[in-house]
């Protein structure tokens, strides 16, 4: 007869307290920075007005339009993703009800 060093009760407790919550979908939304799109010269162009003479200067640098990525209302966010987001400094986790109204889905 072989005896285990880890009793069955300890393994079951580990599964229900740690492993199961990490693999279960939770009711949270993940928010993190998206990509930055350069504004010059694609989006913003400096041109002269109608009859006015406006002195313009060539940009000496770049301006970026920052987007924010928010998980979809139908996305299943797992507990492991929440823990990973809490560890990172550029990620935020907030309750789904703070971002989306009840009954919101990606089709609406």
Residues 4-58 have pLDDT tens digits of: 667 888 888 888 888 888 888 999 999 999 888 888 766 666 565 544 666 666 7
Q: Are 17 and 53 in contact (CB under 8 A)?
A: no
Q: Are 23 and 80 in contact (CB under 8 A)?
A: yes
pLDDT value for 33:
92
- Classify residue 71: in a domain, yes or no: yes
- Classify residue 32: in a domain, yes or no: yes
Cβ atoms within 10 Å, residue 81: 19
Q: Kindly indicate the confidence band of residue 98, based on its pLDDT and cuts at 50, 70 and 90.
A: very high
Buried residues in 12-33 as b, exposed as e (16+ CB within 10 A): eeeeeeeeeeeeeebebbbbee
Quick check: pTM over 0.75?
A: no
pLDDT value for 63:
84
As for how many domains the chain has, the answer is 1
Domain boundaries, position 83: 23-98
- Classify residue 72: in a domain, yes or no: yes
What are the Cα distances from residue 51, in Å, to 24, 57, 83, 99?
64, 18, 59, 47
């Amino acid at each position: 007869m072989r005896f285990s060093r880890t009793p069955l009760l300890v393994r079951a407790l580990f599964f229900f307290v740690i492993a199961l919550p990490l693999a279960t979908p939770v009711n949270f939304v993940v928010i993190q920075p998206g990509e930055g799109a350069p504004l010059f010269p694609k989006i913003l162009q400096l041109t002269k007005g109608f009859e006015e003479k406006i002195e313009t200067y060539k940009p000496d640098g770049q301006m970026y339009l920052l987007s924010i990525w928010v998980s979809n209302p139908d996305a299943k966010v797992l507990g492991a993703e929440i823990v990973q987001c809490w560890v990172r400094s550029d990620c935020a986790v907030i309750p789904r009800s703070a971002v989306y109204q009840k009954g919101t889905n990606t089709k609406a």
